[in-house]
A and B are shown apart, each in its own frame.
Chain A
Amino acid sequence: AQTVTQSQPEMSVQEAETVTLSCTYDTSESDYYLFWYKQPPSRQMILVIRQEAYKQQNATENRFSVNFQKAAKSFSLKISDSQLGDAAMYFCAYEGSNYQLIWGAGTKLIIKP
């Protein structure tokens, strides 16, 4: 069975600086998708970025980028120029052949002004 692990329960960063959130996963599949979702307090889950496993190029979305290491089964999220609005729970998720999302436990990101 697939698993997703986020080893950092909480991270903090100074506003305008860069922070990296870690995610590792375990799977025997070769074709899958990986996602980072953001969940602000009492608000809905928002897609931040996605990565197709068959693509070697790391996905980027404005200030958000990933470091996808398929062999190491690692999928970290880098947030550049951190803003106060980035404060939220961040979840790493895996989608394989059964179309179900498997989620990590989340990392709480705190932005210090």
Chain B
Amino acid sequence: DTGVSQNPRHKITKRGQNVTFRCDPISEHNRLYWYRQTLGQGPEFLTYFQNEAQLEKSRLLSDRFSAERPKGSFSTLEIQRTEQGDSAMYLCASSLHSGSYGYTFGSGTRLTVV
């Protein structure tokens, strides 16, 4: 198992364009989380899945953001009509059941909106 994989590592997009990120969690982990981290700050929770069900979604997540986890495997995070304020590192993490054993993070996708 190679850990949590995120693609792409970097994405530069023009304001108004749509972008999609992918996360492949550790195969036996049934929980998958998305966080957003801006420079110099701690991550902020966006959403999480247990298997294919999206159980929680932050108020930070506007209608332009959508996440899916088909079949409880990989997950995608889509941002529509990107804005400069969306520029951040998007982190994916997975865990087995609850996070009490800790979360395994991917390397993140750095989004720059120009």
Which A residues fall within an 8 A CB radius of B?
A: 4, 33, 35, 37, 43-47, 50, 52, 91, 93, 95, 98-106
Contacts and interface: CB of A to CB of B under 8 A. Distances in A.
26 contacts: A4-B42, A33-B100, A43-B107, A44-B106, A44-B107, A44-B108, A45-B91, A46-B105, A50-B101, A52-B100, A91-B42, A95-B98, A95-B99, A99-B48, A99-B56, A99-B98, A99-B99, A100-B33, A101-B43, A101-B45, A101-B99, A102-B45, A103-B42, A104-B42, A105-B40, A105-B42
Nearest to B110: A42
Contacts, number: 56
Nearest to B46: A100
Interface residues of B, number: 25
Nearest to B35: A101
Interface of B: 31, 33, 35, 40-45, 48, 55-56, 91, 93, 98-108
A100 B102 contact: no
